[in-house]
Amino acid sequence: MTDLNKDWLLQCLDTARAAADAAARVHLEAAGTVHADAARAKDTADFVSHVDEAAQEAALAIIRGRHPDHLILAEEDEAPPALPDDDTPLWVVDPLDGTTNFLHGHPMHVASVALTVAGRSVVGAVTCGPTGERWWAARGLGAFKSERAGGGSAAAAAGSGAGGDVAARSGETLRGMPRRLRTSSPGSM
């Protein structure tokens, strides 16, 4: 059975963040050089470009280098692995979530990397290269956005209990949403 202790989770979280960051760097390097006509359709309104593939390779290189015994399910793979029916760790990678936005020069696209064990998400990281925003979480250790003041690491943040009660803050945000929607004009959003 996979041991979900804090040290192992932090190690995997570091991998997820590094993999998402590596993919986002590919997005930044290619921004503005690839357009919709250079992509191919996978399905209705679902496109893939060479940037998706390069970002995936960058992310997978990090994961494979650190966890060669883990399985990987990546969006651009043509032949996904058989899903584990035990507690074998499975990485789930969307190397360029928002390909259509990317192809049209819109900055809202991210790299997403998660780890599941026995069908449960245990670690996740998302990086938005154009805005520099980053989100990450680990089961039982909290969820975080961007770097802490002073450049603290995820390990330090998780160990300190920083991040507080994410669920409570989310509830506050959701409760305030109708008021913000009523007072926002379409051009101000």
- Give me the average pLDDT of each 10-residue run along the chain (189 residues): 84 97 87 59 58 91 97 82 85 86 79 94 94 94 72 39 34 39 37
CA 145 to chain centre: 12
Torsion sign (Cα): 70, 27, 17, 46: negative
pTM exceeding 0.85: no
Q: How far apart are CA 123 and CA 136, in angstroms?
A: 8
Judged by phi (left if over 0) then psi (alpha if -120 to 50, else beta), residue 140 lies in left
CA 188 to chain centre: 27
pLDDT given for residue 171 in this prediction? 39
Residue 27: closest CA among 94, 109, 92? 109
pLDDT given for residue 84 in this prediction? 81
Q: Which two tokens stand for residue 41?
A: 């359709």
Read off the amino acid at residue 20: A
pLDDT given for residue 93 in this prediction? 94
What contacts 24+ positions apart, CB below 8 Å, involve 139-147? 139/4, 139/9, 140/6, 140/9, 141/6, 141/9, 141/10, 141/13, 142/166
Q: How far apart are CA 145 and CA 136, in angstroms?
A: 7
pLDDT given for residue 46 in this prediction? 54
Contact assessment for residue 139 and residue 30, using Cβ atoms and an 8 Å cutoff: no
pLDDT given for residue 137 in this prediction? 96
pLDDT given for residue 21 in this prediction? 97
Read off the amino acid at residue 19: A
Q: How far apart are CA 83 and CA 106, in angstroms?
A: 34
pLDDT given for residue 164 in this prediction? 33
pLDDT given for residue 85 in this prediction? 83
Q: How far apart are CA 1 and CA 76, in angstroms?
A: 29
Q: How far apart are CA 17 and CA 62, in angstroms?
A: 10
- How many residues does the structure list for the chain? 189
pLDDT given for residue 27 in this prediction? 79
